[in-house]
Structure 1
Amino acid sequence: MDKASIVAQMSQTLIVFMIWVLPPLIAAVVVGLGIGIIQAATQLQDETLHLTVKLLVVVAVIALFAPVLSAPLIEQADYVFSEFPAIIPSY
């Protein structure tokens, strides 16, 4: 395994990680924006409301999408660990 394939594998791993992180992040942004608009419209100045709601939504999204999102992550980890012996002799 040469350096180019290691760099390609690292970029593939980062893409899989970004796919795993994106749904909770998008949900947190949308909910935070919605709660912010509601708080501005009602002049409700509770500082913990948006944090609590965002936390609950992020946990719910992770719980709902974990089986779907974990499959590529597990596949990537399996590939990296199976190719690990090929990486070691080159260094």
Structure 2
Amino acid sequence: LDEPYSAVELAKSANLSVRQVERLFLRHLNVTPGRYYMRLRLERARELLRQTNLPILDVAIATGFTSHSYFAQSYRLLFGRPPSEERRTTY
């Protein structure tokens, strides 16, 4: 999860076109590959925030984010609160 996998790489490894992969994701998961992957990364970040003492920046980096602010913004959009609040309620 720390190194994002592009749709092109995913399609190539599955021996499908990018469009076929997108259609399959939409049909079976009702999301695009990018949104699905983002959710996986953020769910992993949530686990790390709840189960470790890693600094929030280290959690962001471990889940493939290069910007603390983008990580915090994405986290807040998905979970409705910032990563710092997640950490405060866990410990």
Q: TM-score, normalised to structure 1's length?
A: 0.27
Q: Which has the higher contact order (CA 8 A, sep 6+)?
A: 1
Higher helix share: 1
- Structure index of larger Rg: 1
